[in-house]
Amino acid sequence: MNKIAVNSNNIARASIGLFGLLLLLAGSNTQINWLHQPADTIVLVNQQPVTETALRVARQRSGMLTADISTQGRDQQLLQRLIDDELILQRAEELGILQADPGIRKLLARSAIETVVSKSQALPVTESELVAFYDNHQAVFQQPQRITLQSAQFDDVETANTTRKAVLLGQSLKKAASSTGAEMLPIPLSPLPKHALIRYLGASLTDLALTLSTMEVSQPIIRGDSVYLLQVFKNQPTTLMPLEQVRETAMTELKIRQRRDSLATTLAELKQQASIQFNLALLEQLASTDQ
């Protein structure tokens, strides 16, 4: 009876010990570097493999520099160089150079971004994905409203009204305005979107111009010390470009957004997995000294 009790005690102890060990391994911050060596490993330098592939690349890179040395001698030299490089890289890791050197940090961050992005870019885009993207982002593929117009600037409302009447009777705005000594604004006679019109007319006149229909002549518009007349020759409304016409643009836009999304997703995942601690006291202190 006692023997059974002692045995069960031993089993319990062993189980608790094992459980503790598992907890220690699971809770440890140290990553266990399970030996993973490629099949073409030639030599392990502190468990880091130097491979035949690396030697081949080094051979290609060394090229003509070692042309006069025998193949075996050259390979020995290159291998020694690869081993030395590996030792220096390991030392750099130990010293935290990768984290501390701003140039290397930038290269590392860029490399991580390229890895994430290239994965998403490698995925093919199906026709249905492209159509769905086009349907859901029609604003991107719209051609904005464009207006072809002319504008004359007058000193008083009366002259503007006289000119307006002449235009309505069939005279051109340019001719009618010049006969009264008014000035034409230097606007190109071609369809212009809102942002381009603003440069010539300013925001308020542009907003008014966009409401005029084709061949409409505005009422005299007073802005500051001047009076304006606008004549619209063509008002092309906002139009959605057909998919066939913007297929390439749609594909490029979709790829750009996929790239951005995949990076955002990866960053969100990394943040979720990471242990991030803030020094709130110091942050508050810095914020207060900043203000």
Partner 1 sequence: MKTRSALTTNQRSLTLLICGSVLGILVAVSDPYVSVTDDTTVVAWVNDTAIGKAQYSQALALYSQEKRSPTNPQDRTLILERLIEEELLVQKAITDGALRNNLGIRQRTLQTMLDSIQSESIATNGTNAESNGKALQGYIEQLRHTATIKWLNQQPTAAQAGQ
Question: By CB under 8 A, what part of segment 4-43 binds partner 1?
Answer: 5-6, 9, 12-13, 16-17, 19-20, 23-24, 26-29, 37, 40-43
Of 140-148, 152-160, 197-205, 276-284, the window that binds partner 1 (rule: CB under 8 A) is: 276-284
Least distance (Å) from partner 1 to the CB of residue 256?
19
CA distances from residue 134 to 14, 118, 121, 180, 254 in whole angstroms, order as listed: 63, 23, 18, 52, 9
Instruction: Report the C-alpha gap between 177 and 165 in whole angstroms.
Output: 11
Which distant-in-sequence residues (6+ apart) come within 8 Å of 125 by Cβ? 251, 254, 255, 258
Among 56, 88, 239, 242, binds partner 1 (CB under 8 A): 88
Backbone angles phi, psi at 43, to 5 degrees: -145, 145
Among 69, 97, 117, 125, binds partner 1 (CB under 8 A): 97
Least distance (Å) from partner 1 to the CB of residue 124?
24
Are residues 56 and 79 in contact, defined by beta-carbon separation less than 8 angstroms? no
**Residue span 227-246 as binding mask against partner 1, x where in contact by CB under 8 A, dash where not:** --------------------
Among 180, 227, 253, 281, binds partner 1 (CB under 8 A): 281
Residue 107 or 168 having the CB closest to partner 1: 107
Instruction: Report the C-alpha gap between 198 and 203 in whole angstroms.
Output: 5
- Residue ranges in 145-204 that form contacts with partner 1 under rule CB under 8 A: none
Least distance (Å) from partner 1 to the CB of residue 248?
31
Q: Retrieve residue 132's tokens.
A: 């769905």
Instruction: Report the C-alpha gap between 160 and 229 in whole angstroms.
Output: 7
Q: Which helix (H) or strand (E) holds 263?
A: helix 243-273
- Residue ranges in 102-141 that form contacts with partner 1 under rule CB under 8 A: 103-105, 107-109, 111-113, 115
Instruction: Report the C-alpha gap between 5 and 13 in whole angstroms.
Output: 12
Are residues 209 and 187 in contact, defined by beta-carbon separation less than 8 angstroms? no
Among 60, 181, 287, 288, binds partner 1 (CB under 8 A): 287
Among 64, 122, 139, 282, binds partner 1 (CB under 8 A): 282
Among 63, 124, 276, 288, binds partner 1 (CB under 8 A): 276
How many beta carbons lie within 10 A of that of residue 133, not counting itself? Answer: 19
Among 65, 136, 248, 278, binds partner 1 (CB under 8 A): 278
∠ at Cα 42 (37, 44), nearest 5°?
60
Instruction: Report the C-alpha gap between 207 and 139 in whole angstroms.
Output: 20
Least distance (Å) from partner 1 to the CB of residue 180?
47
**Residue span 45-84 as binding mask against partner 1, x where in contact by CB under 8 A, dash where not:** xxxx---x-----------------------x--xx--xx
